[in-house]
Amino acid sequence: MNQNRAAIRYAKATLDYAVEKKAADAVEKDMRDIAATISENGELQSVLESPIVKSELKKSALLEIFKDANEISKGLIQTLVDNKRIAMLQEVAYKYIILHEKMKGEEVAYVTTAVPLTADLEKKILAEVKKATGNKVTIENKVDEAIIGGFVLRVGDTQYDASIANKLNGLKREFTNSL
């Protein structure tokens, strides 16, 4: 089973349990904190992925970092450690957020652009994404000059890459393959 499918299963099980215990919103807040913390801290990411660092050390570090988290979130960390899947914690957190937003009828469209979006362009994107998904949508704009121009739009598990960098990479692959 690949990492993505496993992450979705852990996230779905956690969401089902959180809904049963009426703690889904609190757990979503924890998942956002977990995803952001791991994303911003390369050293923590390395520790979680390292086969050399003992599982108990990873667990104690995570439980200390997220000591204010909901018991369900702590239980997820424990389960991932027990099943030797703690390296996928960030991915499980992302999947939980996506599943919970879908359950609430909301979605977040992540738009990566080379320059910040204008208000007019943001409204157009919101309208198109809402029409495509049928859900209430909010936009999070990330600026990344490395994409050169165009945009990358991600809604849930779907990604549309219309960046100049992606097109240049495609041309590069075509030229390389035709040599």
Domain stop point among 48, 70, 101:
101
Angstrom distance (rounded) from CA 101 to CA 9: 16
Domain end position, chosen among 52, 69, 101: 101
- Do 23 and 83 lie in one domain? The reply is yes
Whether residue 119 sits in one domain with residue 43: no
Which residues form the domain of 166? 106-178
How far apart CA 15 and CA 20 sit, in angstroms, is: 8
Judge contact between 35 and 97, C-beta under 8 A: yes
pTM for this predicted structure = 0.67
Quickly state the pLDDT bin for 2 (edges 50, 70, 90): low
Element (DSSP H or E) covering residue 152? strand 151-155
In this structure, how many other beta carbons lie within 10 angstroms of the beta carbon of residue 104?
Answer: 13
Q: 137 and 78, same structural domain?
A: no
For 148-165, how does the pLDDT look when each residue is reduced to its tens digit (9 = 90+)? 999 999 887 788 899 999
Q: In which band, very low, low, confident or very high, does the pLDDT at 80 lie, cut at 50, 70 and 90?
A: very high
**Residue 88 shares a structural domain with residue 125:** no
Q: Are strands 136-143 and 158-161 parallel, antiparallel or unpaired?
A: unpaired
Task: Please give the full DSSP string across 106-127, using - where no structure is assigned.
Answer: EEEEEEEESSPPPHHHHHHHHH
